[in-house]
Amino acid sequence: MPPQVQTAQSDNNLIDYAALITQYPWVTARDRYCILSPDSDGFLSGLLVTNFLNWEVAGFYDGKILISKRGVDFNECVFLDMEINRPGVGSIGNHLIEYNRNLVINNRNFDACLQPNMLRGFDGKSAFQRKYPFGTIHLLLSILQGAGVINDIQDDAISPILFADGVGNNLFGYPENCLDWIRYLKINQNTHILHKFLCETNLNFYQIMQYLQRFFVI
Q: What is the pLDDT of residue 65?
A: 93
Q: What is the pLDDT of residue 7?
A: 45
CA distance 113 to 115: 6
97 touches 104 (CB < 8 A) = no
Q: What is the pLDDT of residue 9?
A: 47
First and final C-alpha spacing in the chain: 51
Q: How does pLDDT run across 147-167, given as a tens digit for each residue?
A: 999 999 988 888 888 888 788
Q: Is the pLDDT of residue 3 over 70?
A: no
Higher pLDDT among residues 105 and 168, named by residue: 168
Residue 36: DSSP 8-state: E
Average pLDDT, the chain: 87
Average pLDDT for 112-135? 92
- As a whole number of Å, the CA-based R_g of the chain is 17
Q: What is the pLDDT of residue 19?
A: 95
Average pLDDT for 96-106? 73
Q: Which candidate, 160, 111, 106, places its Cα nearest to that of 135?
A: 160
Q: 3-class SS at 9?
A: coil
Q: What is the pLDDT of residue 104?
A: 60
Q: Which candidate, 126, 123, 107, 125, places its Cα nearest to that of 115?
A: 123
Q: pLDDT-derived band of residue 168, with 50, 70 and 90 as boundaries?
A: confident
Higher pLDDT among residues 91 and 126, named by residue: 91
Q: How does pLDDT run across 10-57, given as a tens digit for each residue?
A: 445 899 999 999 999 999 999 999 999 999 999 999 999 999 999 999
- Inter-axis angle of helices 136-146 and 40-52, to 10 degrees? 20
CA distance 113 to 92: 6
